[in-house]
């Protein structure tokens, strides 16, 4: 068997309907189920224009929308 990371990621908001002006909280879950550590991994979530980034836990950074 070859040693390799096996990364998975899922983004959910837990809602079925969002109205203009609603505050929406996304959860991004990630894991490595492989048999080797993954190094240098960066998660990027691109936001569309008109969406305001209000912060994240743990702290992240915002680079601007499309």
Question: Which of 40, 48, 45, 16 minimizes the C-alpha distance to 28?
Answer: 45
* Global pTM value: 0.70
CA atoms within 13 A on the CB side of 53: 16
pLDDT tens per residue across span 5-18: 999 999 998 888 98
Give me the residues paired with residue 53 across strands.
Answer: none
Interval 31-55 mean pLDDT: 87
- Asked whether the predicted pLDDT for residue 65 surpasses 60, the reply is no
Instruction: Quote the Cα angle for 25-27-32, to 5°.
Output: 170
């Amino acid at each position: 068997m070859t040693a390799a990371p096996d990364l998975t990621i899922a983004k959910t908001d837990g809602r079925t309907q969002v109205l203009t002006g609603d505050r929406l909280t996304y959860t991004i879950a990630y894991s490595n189920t492989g048999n080797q550590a993954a190094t240098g991994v960066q998660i990027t979530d691109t936001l569309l224009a008109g969406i305001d980034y209000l912060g994240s836990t743990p702290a992240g950074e915002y680079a601007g929308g499309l």
